[in-house]
Amino acid sequence: MNLRELSLQLKACHIPRRLEVPLAGYTWLEVGGPADVFVEPRMAIEAATALRLAAEHGAPVLVLGRGTNLLIGDGGFRGMALHLGPSFDDGRVVVEGRGCIAAAGVRLSKLLERLAVVGLGGLEDLYGIPGSLGGALAMNAGAYGSAIWPRVGWIELALPVGRVVMVDAAKIEYGYRSVKLPPGAVVTGARLRLERSDPRELLDRHHELTADREGKHPLAFPNCGSVFKNPSRYNTAARMIEACGLKGRSVGGAKISEKHANFMVNTGGASAADFRALIELVRDCVEKEHGLSLCTEVRLAGEFTTDENDLDDADDGGEVRDGGSA
């Protein structure tokens, strides 16, 4: 892995990049060490070019959106972080009839606000999820029984061979909080299929969801949203964690919220190792008390300072896609 040469080639292609960038400032948990190379493409072809160069140099890739459900190790990420953030938003939202086309970097709630104003619904239950559109698509984000993928017409993908393609959503397999994209592909945009709705009813639903989330979720502290996937709609992770008496349990600066048991918050000065240890504590307790092994919804990436076994959704050092939180 020749990161110096990778950086020089990115510069030659006029793709914005920096070295040794701390990633804590790019995640909602506010933890995580530096990325060797940090790239901020402004368009899909730049993202595809960066992926191609990373593949040619054997550099692992970490795809970052708004960092809402991502836990990065204290040792940082050895490879290239590809950040599809504000520079990949650029207001690129085009409304066409009962659909819209949007770039991956647009904030999901911002997109839904715009759609509500023009009377396009179908995804209003996702309002308040703090991630980007790209992150929501990468993990099939959802809430209140709704999910984003049933509303996808096609997606735009940057491929590690350096090409950008559009793929019919019907060709992509998805499930609960999961999407099977082509190996190494990164979502850079999508067309959403919507339905005509009353703008006032959509905006009222947004206000209702905002009040509900503020009442249930610990929004006053840095958090990553739901930490674990729900085994079922009725047998939720939060209920099982609470039944184990774990609300309020802490490891270092990481704490299980007393407001919502499936949220972990940074009370100040937490490390990634603190959060990982707390995740393992919860999984061990739930498996012992309920006989179920909880799967993480939060994604893990980078180098951790513990010798614990990898969690089921972790990929320490390999490619990891950032998704939105539920």
Active site residue 177: yes
The full DSSP string for 29-76 is T----EEEEEE--SSHHHHHHHHHHHHHTT--EEEESS-TTEEE-TT-
* pLDDT recorded at residue 317: 38
* pLDDT recorded at residue 90: 58
Buried b (16+ CB within 10 A) or exposed e, 257-269: bebbbbbbbbeee
Q: Is a pLDDT exceeding 50 seen at residue 316? A: no
Q: What is the mean pLDDT of residues 152-158?
A: 97
What percent of the chain is predicted at pLDDT more than 90? 83
Buried b (16+ CB within 10 A) or exposed e, 32-69: bbbbbbbbbbbbbbbbbbbbbbbbebebbbbbbbbbbb
Over the stretch 76-101, which tens digit does the pLDDT of each residue have? 999 999 999 888 875 678 999 999 99
Please name each of the domains of the chain with its CATH number. 3-87 (3.30.43.10), 89-214 (3.30.465.10), 220-321 (3.90.78.10)
* pLDDT recorded at residue 91: 61
pTM score, two decimals?
Answer: 0.87
30, 40, 124, 297: the catalytic one is 297
Q: What is the mean pLDDT of residues 286-301?
A: 95
52, 66, 177, 249: the catalytic one is 177
Outline where DSSP puts E strands in 219-261.
Answer: 250-251, 254-256
Active site residue 226: yes
Q: Which of 184, 257, 183 is nearest to 223 (CA)?
A: 257
The Cα–Cα gap between 137 and 65 comes to: 11
Contact predicate 123/111, CB 8 Å: no
Q: Is a pLDDT exceeding 80 seen at residue 206? A: yes
Q: Which of 4-13, 103-112, 227-236, 294-303 has the lowest mean pLDDT?
A: 227-236
Active site residue 87: no
226, 257, 271, 325: the catalytic one is 226
